[in-house]
């Protein structure tokens, strides 16, 4: 007996730590198990992330607290959809394999897109992901993983952490800067009492092993890999419609497949007769994609769990980088500023890929550092307001190509419909706010509607400031034509004739 008990205990421990046990016997996690098997962590045991690594006694106590999951599974009283409440800190899980101080090279990524038109036209883009990594003392720690080198704290007002109205940045020197969303209406008392989470890997990589991609992503990948034949008319649009309709019901999914089949029989009779085998293969692919990503019985579809990595379907990065988070304290900075939302902070500007070719020279040009940009491009609200400030000066760098109507015709950005971010910068209606107390009209060219010059284009809040720094936000090329200390040495902006 003295020998049998330790052996039985050890065997029980091993079995209950297996991924098969976690996904079936302990609690019903079929969707998570299916997606886990297709993830980059397919060979990593569930317990490595969800239980963590520690002393034996500590591990036993952690496992004991989850015994209730077995009872919920047996009685069927578990919640739907299943949501994770407690996760081990990233330093006890992720960082056991992924060392944060290691340097990783940036990555060129080509994203295959297909338009929802009759020809399923391919419209791919290429960009450089600035995954950086490493320590700042080595000149590293930039781009996406800048957050690793700096301590970031935040307040979330919802369980999914999709609404983040307050952010604190603590740099390596100990300087503290607080950013807040003015529309959230947070009081100092609320901020002082609210729980603050320190950002770690999981705040971005929250679906790394259990991803339920959107229909658009699934279909684009299937088209790119050849699982779905791009030669079928309207197959991108039909595929998305079928998957979206069936996301909540298997019966609705099968109805949608039959309706798609009828669509081809009625509208493309010759194609339907000659390519019936290809269509049947497509329907089989739809079913495989559906069964591997959507689980109506568990109330799980592509939009059940927010994916914070990126910003196309869910807010992701733009939970903080939304153009609304402005500084509360000014001890570190002399002027109020917004959390930066530059399009090339984490990746280069997307470049449309024509056919199979990739313009490497243009791709490298997209990696121009902030120091090489015109001063106007460094404004924290530039991505939101750059379209309002376009002028002849823009064409010096952004010359329109043949067939493009303007320098804004970058198909990688402006040619794509983005659900996120919902840009609503606090500066958009500044003139309407300021003139309530300051009934002053703009003069000269600054009052021309097409120029869209606002009060905050020149003024800091509740202070008067006009300098080269303010002028260069718009006048990027003509500002060096005279050597006086600043523009106001010649230009009196209070007089219309000198504006």
Distance CA 297, CA 394 (A): 54
At residue 297, the pLDDT reads 86
pLDDT in tens, 44-93: 888 888 877 765 666 676 666 666 776 777 777 777 887 877 778 888 88
Q: Which long-range contacts (CB under 8 A, 24 or more apart) does 164-173 make?
A: 164/319, 164/320, 165/325, 166/191, 166/194, 167/320, 167/325, 167/339, 168/196, 172/136
For 211-234, how does the pLDDT look when each residue is reduced to its tens digit (9 = 90+)?
999 999 999 999 999 999 999 999
Q: Is there a contact between 29 and 295 (Cβ–Cβ < 8 Å)?
A: no
Q: H/E element holding 260?
A: helix 250-267
**Which of 240, 327, 332 has the alpha carbon at shortest distance from 290?**
240
Question: CA 160 to CA 147: how far, in whole Å?
Answer: 20
Residue 47: C-alpha distances to residues 86, 98, 305 (Å):
13, 17, 21
Do residues 164 and 154 lie in contact, with contact meaning Cβ atoms separated by under 8 Å?
A: yes
| Long-range Cβ contact pairs of 154-162 (< 8 A, separation 24 or more) | 154/196, 154/197, 154/199, 154/320, 155/186, 155/191, 155/194, 155/195, 155/196, 155/197, 156/197, 157/184, 159/83, 160/306, 161/197, 161/203, 161/308, 161/319, 162/306, 162/314, 162/315, 162/319
Q: State yes or no: pLDDT of 97 exceeds 80.
A: yes
Alpha carbons 497 and 489: distance in angstroms, whole number:
15
How is residue 110 annotated by DSSP?
Answer: E
With contact defined as beta carbons under 8 Å apart, do 376 and 476 qualify?
Answer: yes
Of residues 156 and 18, more confidently modeled: 156
Q: CA dihedral in degrees (233, 236, 241, 244; nearest 10)? A: 160
364 sits in which H/E element? helix 360-365
**Is 363 or 209 the better-scoring residue by pLDDT?**
209
* Burial (CB count <10 Å: 0-12, 13-18, 19+), residue 7: exposed
Q: What is the pLDDT of residues 332-384, one digit of tens each?
A: 555 567 888 777 788 887 777 766 566 666 666 655 444 466 767 766 667 66
- 498: DSSP letter: G
**What is the 3-class SS of 173-232, one letter each residue?**
CCCEEEEECHHHCCCHHHHHHCCCEECCHHHCCCCCCCCCCCHHHHHHHHHHHCCCCCCC
CB–CB of 395/377 below 8 Å?
no
What number of other Cβ atoms are within 10 A of residue 442's Cβ?
A: 19
Contact present, 344 and 129 (Cβ < 8 Å): no
CA separation (Å) from 468 to 165, 456, 481?
Answer: 33, 15, 12
Contact 123, 411 (CB under 8 A): yes
Distance of CA 107 to CAs 95, 104, 202, 356, Å?
Answer: 21, 9, 21, 19
How many Cα neighbours within 13 Å face the side chain of 239? Answer: 36
Instruction: Considering only residues 271 and 365, tell me which one the structure prediction assigns the higher pLDDT.
Output: 271
Tell me what pLDDT residue 491 has. 72
Hunting for tokens 């402006």 — which residue is that?
A: 414
Interatomic CA distance for residues 57 and 219, integer angstroms: 47
Please answer whether residues 64 and 70 qualify as being in contact, where contact means their C-beta atoms are separated by less than 8 angstroms.
no
Question: How far does Cα 432 stand from its chain's mean position?
Answer: 32
Whole-Å CA distances, 332 to 169, 176, 224, 371, 457: 11, 7, 49, 21, 22
What confidence tens digit (pLDDT) does each residue in 370-427 have? 446 676 776 666 766 676 666 666 766 666 555 555 555 555 565 555 555 554 444 4
**What pLDDT, on the 0 to 100 scale, is given for residue 276?**
94
Contact 212, 301 (CB under 8 A): yes
pLDDT level of residue 479 (50, 70, 90 thresholds): very low
pLDDT (tens digit, 9 = 90+) per residue, 160-201? 999 999 999 998 788 899 999 988 889 999 999 999 999 999
């Amino acid at each position: 007996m003295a020998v049998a008990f330790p052996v039985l205990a050890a065997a029980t421990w091993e079995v209950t730590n297996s991924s098969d046990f976690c996904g079936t016997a302990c609690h019903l996690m079929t969707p998570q198990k299916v997606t886990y098997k297709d993830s980059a962590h397919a060979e990593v045991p569930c317990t490595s992330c969800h239980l963590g690594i520690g002393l034996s006694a500590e591990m036993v106590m952690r496992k004991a607290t989850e015994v209730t999951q077995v009872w919920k599974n047996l009685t069927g009283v578990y919640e739907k959809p299943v949501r994770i409440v407690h996760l081990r800190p990233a330093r006890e899980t992720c960082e056991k394999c992924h060392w944060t101080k290691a340097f990783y090279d940036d990555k060129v990524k080509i994203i295959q897109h297909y338009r929802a038109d009759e020809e399923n036209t391919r419209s791919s883009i290429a960009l450089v992901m600035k995954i950086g990594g490493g320590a700042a003392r080595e000149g590293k720690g930039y781009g996406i993983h800048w957050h690793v080198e700096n301590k970031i704290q935040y307040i979330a007002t919802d369980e999914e952490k999709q609404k983040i109205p307050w952010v604190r940045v603590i740099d390596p020197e100990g300087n503290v800067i607080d950013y807040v969303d003015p529309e959230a209406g947070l009081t100092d008392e609320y901020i002082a009492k609210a729980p603050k989470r320190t950002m770690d890997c999981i705040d971005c990589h929250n679906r790394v092993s259990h991803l339920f991609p959107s229909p658009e992503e699934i279909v684009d990948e299937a088209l790119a890999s050849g699982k779905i034949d791009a030669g079928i008319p309207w197959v991108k649009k039909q595929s998305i419609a079928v998957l979206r309709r069936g996301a909540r019901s298997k019966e609705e999914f099968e109805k949608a497949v039959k309706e798609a089949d009828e669509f081809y029989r009625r509208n493309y009779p010759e194609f339907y007769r000659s390519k019936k085998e290809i269509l049947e293969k497509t329907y089989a692919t739809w079913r495989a994609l559906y069964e591997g990503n959507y689980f109506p019985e568990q109330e799980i579809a592509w939009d059940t769990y927010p994916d914070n990595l990126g910003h196309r379907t869910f807010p992701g990065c733009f939970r903080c980088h939304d153009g609304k988070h402005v500084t509360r304290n000014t001890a570190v900075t002399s002027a109020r500023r917004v959390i930066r939302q530059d399009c090339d902070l984490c990746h280069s500007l997307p470049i449309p890929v024509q056919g199979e070719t990739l313009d490497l020279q243009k791709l490298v040009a997209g990696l121009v550092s902030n120091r090489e940009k015109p001063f106007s491009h460094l404004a924290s609200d530039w991505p939101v307001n750059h379209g309002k400030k376009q002028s002849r000066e823009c064409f010096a760098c952004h010359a329109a190509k043949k067939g493009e109507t303007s320098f804004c015709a970058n198909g990688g950005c402006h040619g794509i419909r983005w659900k996120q971010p919902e840009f609503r910068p606090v500066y958009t209606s500044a003139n309407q706010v300021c003139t309530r107390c300051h009934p002053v009209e703009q003069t000269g060219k600054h009052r021309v509607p097409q120029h869209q010059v606002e009060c905050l284009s020149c003024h800091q809040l509740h202070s008067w400031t006009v300098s080269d720094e303010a002028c260069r936000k718009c006048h990027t090329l003509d500002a060096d034509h005279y050597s006086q200390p600043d523009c106001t040495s010649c230009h009196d902006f209070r007089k219309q004739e000198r504006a």
